[in-house]
A and B are shown apart, each in its own frame.
Chain A
């Protein structure tokens, strides 16, 4: 008798759950259907049937591009901006190797556009914003009241101070950390900086050839030497270190300025000669290279964001509008707020191939 009642209870429970979820499903999907009808309706007047703007961009551009998307959609009702965020090289390969169509490509390394896309998939690019490596901290960090651009490496070396960076094998921010610290040896004229901060605590090795320093990164499992876990915190991705700083697990970490700003961290701005921020010092940055465990070699380059409209764009007019918004005042403002200072006017290569409205906005 009671087991029969239990079965009824179970059936009723399942029924209630399924009704709830189907109900939610309907509520969730119906406004979308309405919205897409509206989009198609007003989209026809603006740009035919194709009112979708496809944007491939680097992961570190997610926050500003989301704001740009909102701004752009507000100005162009009926247009749906679809963003796909991935590593910069991967975003380019989606176009060049997988044959996907994108109306806009924005890369965290402007160099990828000339080296991987031009001339077949792109005719021009504009370098529109910068980023840089900073040392982020909070007011709780040890010696946070003393740190500045002249003594940051001494403070990191002090006993008890813990700092972090991301795995150079997995994350560009990680290999850029190696470059910045190595460049610091030249700038501060102290050949012990890299040794004390990183080399002695990790499995990394350095070789020198024709004035160029190459950092060799071992396989990830051999990166830390025993007991260095008390000083260094290494994680696969920079995001995990942000939370470690918030909880006081580390005192400092190497990170992009944009991430530090977006998280509200305090940070030390390093000299432009070493922080990979400026095209001016590109020759300086070239002096350091990092060889990753898989054999890939990366050379120090400025962290400058580049954008282009690929030649296979399905919607070049809308894409031009988007790039214009990005290069003009509203776009600049968005990048300033997110800690990625815009380059004004943007620096362009292949200017004569650019859409005319954009030529006036670049150098």
Chain B
């Protein structure tokens, strides 16, 4: 009993101030979302249920999740090796390369969409030669490409930070014991930075799912969740678009919480 009281008195001013700021940050995000979610659930629960039963709503949300997942897989395949090189080696123009990888985060997304259309459109730089084999405009590949473009920086950056956090001496130790570099990478570096990669992949996926501006430029059809939300807002107003938005938030939130719980054990690796 005494111990707990003493601990309460001993709160450092810094801890106190920072906790207040955390509270502020939390409420800023929570109030904005909760207002919409609880408003929907409490005032118009039947509307939410009807929306969930609507097959075109569910297929558009599923398409968002699926296309985002494909984009994340490609981002992992491209971003993780890139992150490793950026973490381990110095080369001329490295900071230029790092800055350019960050550019998609800064570019307004409609501009990104137009740029993608000029490259992947049916008369574009890549889209033209590829046209007989694959159509990007108004098709799934276009959605994936747009999502990949805006979200791959998150993966490349967190992969780089993850690999940086692994001491190269551990790799060297493995190699001095006779392991080739690829073995050292897959059995030492990769497991140690797995959590960083996981967090990066979740961020990438989240970013991909939420993307609207770039996707709608290259692929209005088939409709992903955000496009459908925007379209319902234009033709019917807020009351028709909100249930879809709430549904999408709830589904994504569930997935993210599950991923966080499943990956919680992994944090043991990078603690020491």
Residues on A lying within 8 angstroms of B by beta carbon are: 162, 167, 169-170, 219-224, 229-230, 233-236, 240, 243-244, 247-249, 292-294
Contact = CB atoms under 8 A, between A and B. Distances in A.
Contacts of B235: 169-170, 220, 292-294
A234 B222 CA distance: 11
A310 B231 CA distance: 32
Interface stretch (B1-9, B116-124, B201-209): B116-124
B137 A229 contact: yes
A230 B232 CA distance: 25
A292 B236 CA distance: 10
Contact of A233 (B124, B138, B228): B138
B117 A244 contact: yes
A240 B217 contact: yes
Given A170-B231, A249-B121, 15 more contacts: A220-B228, A220-B231, A221-B223, A221-B228, A229-B137, A236-B216, A236-B231, A240-B217, A243-B114, A243-B117, A247-B121, A247-B124, A249-B117, A249-B123, A293-B235
B138 A229 contact: yes
16 contacts: A170-B234, A221-B231, A223-B221, A224-B221, A229-B135, A229-B137, A233-B137, A234-B138, A234-B221, A236-B220, A236-B230, A236-B234, A240-B216, A247-B117, A249-B137, A292-B235
A223 B231 CA distance: 12
A71 to B, nearest CB: 31
Dominant secondary structure at the B interface? helix
Contacts of B117: 243-244, 247, 249
A269 B199 CA distance: 56
Contacts of A235: 220
A292 B232 CA distance: 12
B228 A248 contact: no
A169 B234 contact: yes
Interface string B119-140: 0011110000000000101110
List the 9 shortest-distance A-B pairs measured between CB atoms, nearest first: A229-B138, A248-B123, A169-B235, A170-B234, A220-B231, A221-B56, A249-B121, A221-B223, A294-B236
A229 B139 contact: yes
A283 B123 CA distance: 42
B64 interface: no
B44 to A, nearest CB: 18
B118 A247 contact: yes
B215 to A, nearest CB: 12
B60 interface: yes
A99 to B, nearest CB: 20
A247 B135 CA distance: 16
Nearest to B235: A169
Interface of B: 56, 60, 114, 117-118, 121-124, 135, 137-139, 216-217, 220-221, 223, 228, 230-232, 234-236
A306 B221 CA distance: 36
Nearest to A169: B235
Contacts of A223: 221
B130 to A, nearest CB: 14
Contacts of A222: 56
Contacts of B236: 294
A283 B271 CA distance: 78
B135 A230 contact: yes
A167 B223 CA distance: 13
A224 B114 CA distance: 22
B231 A249 contact: no
B250 to A, nearest CB: 20
A243 B139 CA distance: 18
A38 to B, nearest CB: 34
B220 A234 contact: yes
Contacts of B122: 162, 249
B39 to A, nearest CB: 22
Contacts of B56: 219, 221-222
Contacts of A170: 231, 234-235
Nearest to A230: B135
A167 B231 contact: yes
Contacts of B223: 220-221
A211 to B, nearest CB: 28
Nearest to B218: A249
A293 B228 CA distance: 14
Contacts of A169: 231, 234-235
A347 to B, nearest CB: 32
B29 to A, nearest CB: 24
Contacts of A248: 121, 123
B62 to A, nearest CB: 13
A233 B218 CA distance: 10
A239 to B, nearest CB: 10
